[in-house]
Structure 1
Amino acid sequence: MASPITSTTGMGSGLNIGSIVEALVNSDTAAKQAQITRQTTNNKAYISGVGALKSALAAYQASMKKLNDSAAPSFNAYAASSANENVLKATASNTAVPGTYEVNVSQLATGSKVASRLFATADGGAATPIPKGDLAIEQNGKTYTVSIGDGATLQSVRDSINDALAVNGISANIINESGGARLVLGSTTTGAGSDIKVIGGATGISIDGTKPMATNGSGYISALAQDAKLTIDGLAVTSKSNTVENAISGITLDLVAVSSGAATTKVTVGANNDGLKASVQQFVDAYNTMVKAVNALTATSTDANGNTVLGSLTGDATTRSLLADIRSELATIGSGDRLTSLSQLGINTQKDGTLEFNGTKFTAAMNDKKLGNEVQELFTGTNGVFERMNKAIEPYIKTDGVLTSRANNLNALQKRLDQQQEDLDRRVELLTASLTKKYIAMDTVVGKLKAQANSITSIFEAITAQQRNS
């Protein structure tokens, strides 16, 4: 906006030129200024509201994504516990069966660790020159090729292997021992038969990981890669990995250490009612947080002076449509056999649009109706609550969605309003300068006329005085 007009008093006329000019300028621009101010205030409120709405929806989606994490699934009907987590840990899926199991771990799965021949040099071996060629590294029937260029050293060979094969779980390093250095390769892949072999050709680096390392030769360092071995209720089980899945239906065992002799660790599987309740409560809380945020944006309230205060999106059709789309998904019937609606779990909509979670009704659904193993399907299954909610939200929040388009239009309007304000400010400045110049000119004329009047008055007074004295 233009700077305020300075109040100045005319020397000739005695008029407050600044006040007069300001009044004239305001009478010419006040209506337009009021319009721009009103539109700018409203538009900025809409911009802020749309941003807050997008943030609320994004937070709600993030909460649903966390509850739907496949690596740590929520809504499991069963929970597993281990009596000794120093030996093994247990987790249950939604397909588990209640029961107890005695587990003894006799052997952990290990990966392959092999070493090259000894490179004996005065500098310790890391800078040993390596001829140009290709390394063919074999594991589990797969062959990976690493090209070694001119001027290579044992250290650069190590770096080339790590750059090329880290994604495959194969890594290399250099171990300096008495008399020289060896290139050592290891793998995160475990299980019998996963031993590493290296065919180096011209490079001179060849390792048969199925044979023990000789004094200065290559081979496996301490032992071949091996499977995990355990018994479950006395029944023998082997596993390529220390993560043993479905040896017990619906249970994953993470092996940590070998059992002490014949000692067993009890694994207990039971209903996960408390975990289910906590997951459902998290969903209800996330939904309510989103709804309360939207309600605040669309609310109408009264301030201390009794004036009506509108939310930044009060009366906004887009927001009303969004809420209607989301709320309709709460009442949609799911595809489960017996559990098909949120109300069966004690989840109901309140007058303000938030959800109420009735713990007593939920407990009855778990204990009396035995609906626990269908809760996961209701929320995370195909066409479940989360999938439907995300489909309802996505048209609004996606990159080229409704809210993004709305924000772009509002930002474009704000640019136009800013330009209108700049144009009006220039008009105020030009009109102020023009009127001020005219009034100063008028003041100068008035000042001259006053001076002439004073001069004439002085002449007549002098003539009168002379006549009196004659």
Structure 2
Amino acid sequence: MGDISVSGPVTGIDTQQIVTALVNAEQAPKQSQINKQTQTSTAQLSSIGKIQAALDAFRGAMDNMTKDASIGGLTATTSDANVSTVTLGAGASAGSYQLIVNQLATASKVATQNYSTGAKTVVNTGTTATTLEISQSGQSYGVSVPPGATLQQVRDSINAQYSSVGLSANILTDATGSRLVMTSTNTGAGTDITLGGNSGLQAGSSVVGDPPQNAKYTIDGTAQESKSNTLTEAISGVSIKLTAVSPLPAGVTGTLPDGVTRVSSTITVTRSNDTLKSSVKGFVDTYNALMTAMNTETAVTTNADGSTTRAALTGDATMRSLQTALRSELNAMTGTGTLKSLAQFGVNTDSGTGKLSIDDKVFGAAIATNPTDIGGIFNGDNGLLARMKSATDSYALSNTGVLATRSSTLSDDLKDLQNQQDTLTARMAALKTSLTAKYTTMNNLVAQLTSQRSSVMSTLNALNKTSSDS
């Protein structure tokens, strides 16, 4: 009887290779599915993020155009930038205005008593917390002063808690010591700060400088007052920030003589064709940037061998509906003048890419003859800027928008796929352990049988030899 010949440590069979092959065969279908779905979801999540960023940039640009009114072709200037600065907003119209600033609005400022030992002076030497009450314009704000608190720590506590309501504190130090000084961004008459409570900081407090006062100014000779130095309603659509009192006439010092006024500055709102052209081009550029992002993430690329490669969002229903919403607003007829559409003043849409282009000849002629109509198409509650913003709201909202919801769903899908991967990995590890144990048992059994066969053969050989010798 010939020997059983198998290769391997016991049986000669490469059990490790067999186990690996069996595990791989079991794992392959599910692993392929997980890999494919993970790749798809990851690519889509990245693409949705790029579209979200491009859409946010587009909407931000529309907001800026609405705020500064540049899309209406208007610019605002002041003849004395030391006295005021001006910015345009919605509702502005061309005009010229004479401004005289006689007095700036100021804030209340209150100081505590002087502490000769400086900013690190302990202001609560007791064992229980006290309270500093800061009152302004009918509102009271409590500041807890714990045992051992220093002047510096009280300052930090005020700034941390109440900077959002306009209160702030600082410490002024000189050769005699330190004082806590409180002031406010709220200006104008009636905004006096007072100190109270039981902290002791209120004792000996004093007003620093003059009481708070309103800004006093004239526009075209009409005297006006404001609690703030920022005037948002003095001229429709123009925000004016007062920065200094108007200068005195030449040769005049001290108190103004009766009948003499300070030197006026001129605020001018003018229509600028260059501004209008630049703004329309800016709209076209930012719209095209959004279209480029959408086209890139939805493209079908033809390869050198004639095959095609789809982008992550090729054929995506969300992208189609967003493009439709944008194009519908572009093609709508709006405005109250002769020009009612973008195409009528030379802004055309490419039917393939959806991008905009400007026909310089048509655009130049329209600006020369109908600049107001162009601004009217973009501005107002029913203008293109407002309608574009409204049309994209449902897609762009940060938490509930379509794109945000898609991103959230894809992120959840990737988490679920990772869980599936973890489960599959654990199951395959268990399968490998089980198969390895079975083949180890088989090896041991074969080894036992081989040993028994050798023993039987030895016995038979011995019997044959004895019989032969007889």
Structures share a fold, TM > 0.5?
Answer: yes
Change in CA separation of 1:41 and 1:130 when aligned onto 2, cut-off 3 Å: closer
Partner of 1:465: none
For the aligned residue pairs, the C-alpha RMSD in angstroms reads 4.8
- Conservation of the 8 A alpha-carbon contact between 2:132 and 2:145: no
- Conservation of the 8 A alpha-carbon contact between 2:124 and 2:145: no
Q: Distance in 2 between matches of 1:328 and 1:106?
A: 55
Change in CA separation of 1:368 and 1:41 when aligned onto 2, cut-off 3 Å: farther
Q: Is 1:242 aligned with 2:229?
A: yes
Q: Which residue, out of 46, 50, 57, partners 1:52? A: 46
Change in CA separation of 1:419 and 1:74 when aligned onto 2, cut-off 3 Å: farther
Change in CA separation of 1:376 and 1:25 when aligned onto 2, cut-off 3 Å: same
Partner of 2:412: 408
Q: Give the AA of the match of 1:89.
A: T
1:430 Cα deviation (Å)?
4.9
Partner of 1:214: none
Partner of 1:464: none
- Conservation of the 8 A alpha-carbon contact between 2:43 and 2:312: yes
Change in CA separation of 1:36 and 1:253 when aligned onto 2, cut-off 3 Å: same
Listed one character per residue, the Cα deviations across residues 331-357 of structure 1 (whole Å, up to 9, x for unaligned) are: 4356954487665662525314x4223
Change in CA separation of 1:256 and 1:35 when aligned onto 2, cut-off 3 Å: same
Q: Is 1:284 aligned with 2:287?
A: yes
Q: Distance in 2 between matches of 1:444 and 1:151?
A: 85
Which deviates more, 339-348 or 240-249?
A: 339-348
Change in CA separation of 1:182 and 1:122 when aligned onto 2, cut-off 3 Å: closer
Listed one character per residue, the Cα deviations across residues 300-326 of structure 1 (whole Å, up to 9, x for unaligned) are: 543x666554444556xxxx2102210
Partner of 2:183: 186
1:59 Cα deviation (Å)?
0.5
Q: Distance in 2 between matches of 1:110 and 1:72?
A: 31
Partner of 1:228: 215
Listed one character per residue, the Cα deviations across residues 202-223 of structure 1 (whole Å, up to 9, x for unaligned) are: 84726xxxxxxxxxx7543232
1:291 Cα deviation (Å)?
0.5
- Conservation of the 8 A alpha-carbon contact between 2:94 and 2:270: yes
Q: Is 1:166 aligned with 2:158?
A: no
- Conservation of the 8 A alpha-carbon contact between 1:56 and 1:293: no
Q: Distance in 2 between matches of 1:125 and 1:450?
A: 97
1:86 Cα deviation (Å)?
3.7
SS of residue paired to 2:379: helix
SS of residue paired to 1:332: helix
> Superposed, which structure 2 residues align to 1:328-347 within 5 Å?
328-333=324-329, 336-338=334-336, 346-347=347-348
Change in CA separation of 1:389 and 1:152 when aligned onto 2, cut-off 3 Å: same
Q: Distance in 1 between matches of 2:193 and 2:168?
A: 11
1:404 Cα deviation (Å)?
2.7
1:374 Cα deviation (Å)?
3.9
Q: Distance in 1 between matches of 2:211 and 2:432?
A: 88
Q: Is 1:324 aligned with 2:320?
A: yes
Q: Is 1:388 aligned with 2:388?
A: no
Change in CA separation of 1:367 and 1:307 when aligned onto 2, cut-off 3 Å: same
- Conservation of the 8 A alpha-carbon contact between 2:395 and 2:402: no
Which deviates more, 443-452 or 195-204?
A: 443-452
Q: Distance in 2 between matches of 1:92 and 1:66?
A: 17
Partner of 1:66: 60
Change in CA separation of 1:373 and 1:95 when aligned onto 2, cut-off 3 Å: farther
Which deviates more, 176-185 or 52-61?
A: 176-185
Q: Distance in 1 between matches of 2:430 and 2:87?
A: 72
Partner of 2:349: 348
Q: Give the AA of the match of 1:356.
A: L
1:253 Cα deviation (Å)?
1.6
Q: Is 1:88 aligned with 2:84?
A: yes
Change in CA separation of 1:47 and 1:171 when aligned onto 2, cut-off 3 Å: same
Q: Is 1:110 aligned with 2:106?
A: yes
Partner of 2:268: 268
Partner of 2:465: none
Change in CA separation of 1:347 and 1:33 when aligned onto 2, cut-off 3 Å: farther
Q: Give the AA of the match of 2:408.
A: T
TM-score, scaled relative to structure 1: 0.71
1:292 Cα deviation (Å)?
2.8
* Percent identity of equivalent pairs: 24
- Conservation of the 8 A alpha-carbon contact between 1:111 and 1:225: yes
Listed one character per residue, the Cα deviations across residues 76-128 of structure 1 (whole Å, up to 9, x for unaligned) are: 42221234434322111231112344444443322122334x44656789445
Change in CA separation of 1:122 and 1:239 when aligned onto 2, cut-off 3 Å: closer
- Conservation of the 8 A alpha-carbon contact between 2:104 and 2:244: yes
SS of residue paired to 1:222: coil
- Conservation of the 8 A alpha-carbon contact between 1:54 and 1:403: yes
Q: Give the AA of the match of 1:251.
A: V
TM-score, scaled relative to structure 2: 0.71
Change in CA separation of 1:439 and 1:113 when aligned onto 2, cut-off 3 Å: closer
Q: Is 1:195 aligned with 2:192?
A: yes
Stretches of structure 1 that go unaligned for 5 or more consecutive residues are 1-7, 207-216, 458-470
Change in CA separation of 1:451 and 1:285 when aligned onto 2, cut-off 3 Å: farther
Stretches of structure 2 that go unaligned for 5 or more consecutive residues are 1-5, 250-262, 462-470
Q: Give the AA of the match of 2:409.
A: S
Change in CA separation of 1:362 and 1:324 when aligned onto 2, cut-off 3 Å: farther
Partner of 1:210: none
Q: Is 1:205 aligned with 2:209?
A: no
- Conservation of the 8 A alpha-carbon contact between 1:195 and 1:224: yes
- Conservation of the 8 A alpha-carbon contact between 1:396 and 1:403: no
Listed one character per residue, the Cα deviations across residues 234-253 of structure 1 (whole Å, up to 9, x for unaligned) are: 55443322212232322112
Q: Distance in 2 between matches of 1:351 and 1:434?
A: 64
SS of residue paired to 1:226: coil
1:329 Cα deviation (Å)?
0.9
Change in CA separation of 1:440 and 1:123 when aligned onto 2, cut-off 3 Å: closer
1:37 Cα deviation (Å)?
4.2
Change in CA separation of 1:441 and 1:218 when aligned onto 2, cut-off 3 Å: closer
